[in-house]
A and B are shown apart, each in its own frame.
Chain A
Amino acid sequence: GAGVSQSPSNKVTEKGKDVELRCDPISGHTALYWYRQSLGQGLEFLIYFQGNSAPDKSGLPSDRFSAERTGGSVSTLTIQRTQQEDSAVYLCASSLGGQGKETQYFGPGTRLLVL
């Protein structure tokens, strides 16, 4: 079956521009996560969506970052007024969203470079 997909795979932008990153989770998965992987910070949690509940935004590094999930499926992570320190790989993961054992499956990531 299809895994988690992300687009674009690579994005180069200029400082100050806005970018949108897209994630398409595994069909039937109600939980969706965004993570960021950078050389200096390792893998960091950004935001978590579970079904129709309000998202957990506790990992977002600043108010320039926002995310939404439409129809309980596709999610978009938006970074406004990008800064060079936003350069990283942005990983999306999804899981069934139940109790107990919950394995998260990751997409291939979007490599963002802010010049």
Chain B
Amino acid sequence: AQKITQTQPGMFVQEKEAVTLDCTYDTSDPSYGLFWYKQPSSGEMIFLIYQGSYDQQNATEGRYSLNFQKARKSANLVISASQLGDSAMYFCAMSPDTGRRALTFGSGTRLQVQP
């Protein structure tokens, strides 16, 4: 079984500042992927970034980076230079690399970027 925990229901950040959204996970799968999705008020789930459990380097995608600490079972999302358009719900998720690849999601963090 897999479990994702996001302990920050809501976060505020000033425009142009960096923000870290926390995610911890638990799994018995030896190989897995970790994902972050953004869900704006429109409702669509937008893929942001992926980290494989055996990747040696932390993933980066533009202003998004993933601070992956495997021993601590954490996969925090860092958003640099926040923009007003970053205001949304952010979900951390994981899936095993084999078998049923369904995503297990955390409860989400609502990020509000303030001007």
Q: Which residues of A contact B (CB under 8 A)?
A: 31, 33, 35, 42-43, 45, 48, 50, 56, 58-59, 89, 91, 93, 95, 99-109, 111
Contacts and interface: CB of A to CB of B under 8 A. Distances in A.
**Interface range on chain B: under 10, 10 to 19, 20 to 34, or 35 or more?**
20 to 34
Contact of A104 (B47, B52, B97, B100): B47
Nearest to B31: A100
Given A42-B105, A43-B91, A45-B104, A103 B47 contact: yes
Given A91-B45, A106-B45, A108-B43, A101 B102 contact: no
A58 to B, nearest CB: 7
Interface in B59-106: 91, 93, 95, 97-98, 100-105
A71 B43 CA distance: 28
B64 to A, nearest CB: 14
Contact of B100 (A56, A99, A100, A111): A56
Contacts of A107: 44
B35 interface: yes
Contacts of A48: 100-102
Contacts of A103: 35, 47, 50
A59 B101 CA distance: 13
Interface string B43-61: 1111100101000000000
Nearest to A89: B43
A102 B101 contact: yes
A43 B108 CA distance: 9
A33 to B, nearest CB: 6
B107 interface: yes
